[in-house]
Amino acid sequence: MTDSPLQIADRDAVRTITIDRPDKLNALDSATLDALHAAADAAAADPSVRAVVLTGAGSKAFVAGADIGEMAALTPAQGRDFALRGQRMMRRFEKLPKPVIAMVNGFALGGGLELAMCCHLRIAADTAKLGQPEINLGLIPGFGGTQRLLRLAGRAAALELCLAGAPIDAARALQLGIVNRVVPAADLEADTMTLATQLANAAPLALRGILDCINVGGEAGIEEGLEYEAAQFGLVFSTDDMREGTEAFLCKRKPTFRGR
């Protein structure tokens, strides 16, 4: 569809989802939130997709935030519904059974940082700026920013970013653990696709088990997390991929994983 806010492209087993609103710095309005949720569902259901890259169109912004023009007219009840809509979409990506990489190519502010944080891994260009500036609009983060910053970067950093509302550069974001890697802007796409291809070639059921374990462990106590990990560890012994991987290692050859 020509009026879609997204561009979706597949290369081998990697699906790239690009938010395509460069004139709005890829801001998240309701239609884009819904399109992203549908794209996450489609990626989860497609067996040919083994890894997902999420990015924004143009060189200026990953996502510069939620669409302020749309938000300005909302009532309190509508504001809550808008927050829940965004949270549901981001939770869908966070719980996707396939690795999702945020390719942060510019501004990741407000809803943009929240979207990046719901991805499993984040690679940022050295020119990127990240932050939660909602306080400057008399707002607070509504798509999970307070909660994911707290978990990724800790209480002190979460408070600083949300209360001060000032963006930080990619190097500072790396120091705080908000992003996994920072690379030169010219290398961002190539480096991201290299990592995505590496993940796409890994054992899909083991990847899913790892994602599940970390999701559960991040929201549970240590005993519950360990019990869940042991159960998932046992389950992978029933897979052909586990047999292929161990046999390939013993035979000193490269494994071919088929996701079964």
Q: Which residues are catalytic?
A: 114, 134
d(CA 167, CA 190): 26
Q: Angle 111-118/76-94 helices, nearest 10 degrees? A: 30
d(CA 90, CA 222): 25
In degrees, rounded to 5, the angle at the alpha carbon of residue 96 between the alpha carbons of residues 63 and 24 is 15
Helix (H, G, I), strand (E, B) or coil at 129: strand
Residue 134: DSSP 8-state: G
Name the H helices within 95-239: 111-118, 145-153, 155-164, 170-176, 188-200, 204-218, 222-236
Are residues 109 and 57 in contact, defined by beta-carbon separation less than 8 angstroms?
no
Residue 23: how many other CB atoms lie within 10 Å: 9
Backbone angles phi, psi at 97, to 5 degrees: -80, 15
Are residues 205 and 241 in contact, defined by beta-carbon separation less than 8 angstroms?
yes
